[in-house]
Every structure is written in C-alpha cells, then in structure tokens.
C-alpha cells in the first residue's frame, strides 16, 4: 500500500468495478453501490460484467 491513502469508488458497474479492482492493487479501496442486488452478487463473487472479483472483506455497512 502507498502510505495511508484510501479510495472510494462510487458505482460498481462496468466502469466502477474494474476501476476499484485496479486501484485496490495500490490503495485501500472501498466500493459503494446503492443497488442491494448488485452488492449481493458481488458478495457471492458473481459479476454480471464478466470480471473476476476477489472479495476479501466483510460486507460494508452501506447500501
């Protein structure tokens, strides 16, 4: 990680999700999405956009 830098990506769709994955390689990264169905998909490690997503943290307290 680079220092104490943190990033939040708002929207985990076709652009946001790959961006969050790329940023997570260098920064503590949080993804935020208001679609509870989308959050549930990602928790099951399923991504309808076809990207492979490693889930390493518990469900965040946001919706």
**Model confidence pLDDT, tens digit, residues 17-40:** 989 989 999 999 999 999 999 889
Token digits for 59?
Answer: 């469900």
Q: How confident is the model at residue 49 (pLDDT cuts 50, 70, 90)?
A: confident
Better-scored residue on pLDDT, 63 or 26 = 26
Closest CA to 60 of 25, 32, 22, 28: 32
Provide the b/e sequence for 5-30 (b: ≥16 CB within 10 Å): eeeebebbeeebbbbbbebbeebebb
Token digits for 13?
Answer: 């769709």
Total-model pTM: 0.71
Residue 63 has pLDDT above 80, yes or no: no
Give the span between the Cα atoms of 54 and 63, in whole angstroms.
Answer: 20
């Amino acid at each position: 990680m680079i220092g104490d830098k943190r990033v939040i990506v708002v929207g985990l769709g076709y652009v946001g999700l790959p961006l969050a994955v790329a940023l997570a390689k260098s920064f503590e990264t949080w993804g935020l999405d208001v679609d509870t169905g989308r959050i549930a998909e990602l928790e099951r490690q399923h991504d309808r956009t076809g990207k492979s997503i490693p889930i390493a943290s518990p469900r965040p307290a946001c919706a």
